[in-house]
Structure 1
Amino acid sequence: MTATKTDAPVTTASDEPADATAPVGSARSERLSALVQQHGALAVLVLVSIVASFSFDSFATGDNVSNMATGSAFLAIVALGMTFVIVTGGIDLSVGSLFALGGVLAAWGSRHGTLVALLLPLVVCGLIGVVNGLLVARSRLAPFIVTLAAMLGARGLMLAITDEGANTYLIGKGSFLAELGQGTTLGLGNPVWITLALFVAGAVVLRRTRFGQHVYAVGGNEDAAALMGVPVARTKITVYTLSGALAGLAGALNAAWLASGVTILGNGMELDAISAVVIGGTLLTGGLGYVSGSLVGVLLLKVIQNIINQIGSLDSSYQLVVSGAFLALVVIAQTWLGRRRQLV
Structure 2
Amino acid sequence: MNLLPTATAVPARSRPGSAGPARALELLRRQGVLAVLLLVVVVSSFVFPAFGTVDNARSITVQVSFLSIVALGMTMVIITGGIDLSVGSVFALGGVLAAWASQWGAAPALLVPIVVCGAIGLVNGLLVARAGMAPFIVTLASLLAARGLLLALTHEGATTYLVPRGSFFAELGQGTVGGFGYPVLIALALFAVGGLVLQRTSLGQSMFAVGGSADAATLMGLPVARTKVLVYVLSGLLAGLAGALNAARLSSGVTIIGVGMELDAISAVVIGGTLLVGGAGSVSGTLWGVLLLAVIQNLINQIGSLNSSYQSVVSGGFLILVVVTQRYLSKVRRT
Aligned to 1:84: 76
Question: What one-letter code is carried by the residue in structure 2 that aligns with 1:204?
Answer: L
TM-score by length of 1: 0.95
Q: How does 1:240-251 map to 2 (within 5 A)?
A: 240-251=232-243
1:215 deviates by 0.5
1:168 deviates by 0.4
- Partner deviation per Cα, 1:257-278 (whole Å, 9 max, x = no partner): 1010000000000000000000
Question: What one-letter code is carried by the residue in structure 1 that aligns with 2:22?
Answer: E
Q: Residue 98 of structure 1: which of 90, 93, 98 is its match?
A: 90
- Partner deviation per Cα, 1:161-189 (whole Å, 9 max, x = no partner): 00010000011111001100001001201
- Partner deviation per Cα, 1:180-222 (whole Å, 9 max, x = no partner): 0001001201100000000000000011000101111100110
Q: How does 1:38-49 map to 2 (within 5 A)?
A: 38-49=30-41
Aligned to 1:211: 203
In structure 1, distance between residues paired with 2:298 and 2:127: 39
Q: How does 1:94-243 map to 2 (within 5 A)?
A: 94-243=86-235
In structure 2, distance between residues paired with 1:58 and 1:202: 33
In structure 2, distance between residues paired with 1:105 and 1:10: 71
1:27 aligns with 2:19: yes
Aligned to 1:65: 57
Question: What one-letter code is carried by the residue in structure 2 that aligns with 1:158?
Answer: L
Q: Which runs of 4 or more aligned residues in structure 1 lie more than 3 Å from their structure 2 counterparts after TM superposition?
A: 18-22
In structure 2, distance between residues paired with 1:6 and 1:209: 53
Question: What one-letter code is carried by the residue in structure 1 that aligns with 2:298?
Answer: N
Question: What one-letter code is carried by the residue in structure 2 that aligns with 1:125?
Answer: C
Q: Secondary structure at the match of 1:194?
A: helix
Task: Return 5+ residue gaps in structure 2 as ranges.
Answer: none
Q: Are residues 147 and 5 of structure 1, via their aligned partners in 2, closer, same or farther at CA, if it must alter by over 3 Å?
A: closer
Aligned to 1:312: 304
1:315 deviates by 1.5
In structure 1, distance between residues paired with 2:15 and 2:158: 66
Q: Are residues 270 and 22 of structure 1, via their aligned partners in 2, closer, same or farther at CA, if it must alter by over 3 Å?
A: same
In structure 1, distance between residues paired with 2:121 and 2:99: 21
Q: Residue 6 of structure 2: which of 6, 9, 13 is its match?
A: 9
Q: Secondary structure at the match of 2:16?
A: helix
Question: What one-letter code is carried by the residue in structure 1 that aligns with 2:93?
Answer: L
1:78 deviates by 0.1
Aligned-pair Cα RMSD in Å: 1.6
In structure 1, distance between residues paired with 2:2 and 2:323: 58
In structure 2, distance between residues paired with 1:298 and 1:205: 20
Task: Return 5+ residue gaps in structure 1 as ranges.
Answer: none
- Structure number with greater Rg is 1
TM-score by length of 2: 0.97
Aligned to 1:268: 260
- Partner deviation per Cα, 1:97-128 (whole Å, 9 max, x = no partner): 00000000000000111100000000000000
In structure 2, distance between residues paired with 1:59 and 1:174: 32
Aligned to 2:270: 278
Question: What one-letter code is carried by the residue in structure 1 that aligns with 2:232?
Answer: Y
- Partner deviation per Cα, 1:19-46 (whole Å, 9 max, x = no partner): 9997232211110110000000000000
1:242 deviates by 0.2
Q: Secondary structure at the match of 1:71?
A: helix
In structure 2, distance between residues paired with 1:330 and 1:10: 42
Q: Secondary structure at the match of 2:3?
A: coil
In structure 1, distance between residues paired with 2:45 and 2:315: 20
In structure 2, distance between residues paired with 1:5 and 1:225: 46
In structure 1, distance between residues paired with 2:220 and 2:236: 28
Q: Secondary structure at the match of 2:85?
A: coil
Aligned length: 335
Question: What one-letter code is carried by the residue in structure 2 that aligns with 1:307?
Answer: L
In structure 2, distance between residues paired with 1:265 and 1:340: 41
In structure 2, distance between residues paired with 1:21 and 1:249: 45
In structure 1, distance between residues paired with 2:169 and 2:271: 33
Q: Are residues 6 and 60 of structure 1, via their aligned partners in 2, closer, same or farther at CA, if it must alter by over 3 Å?
A: same
In structure 2, distance between residues paired with 1:258 and 1:165: 16
1:8 deviates by 2.3
Partners of 2:13 and 2:19 within 8 A in 1: no
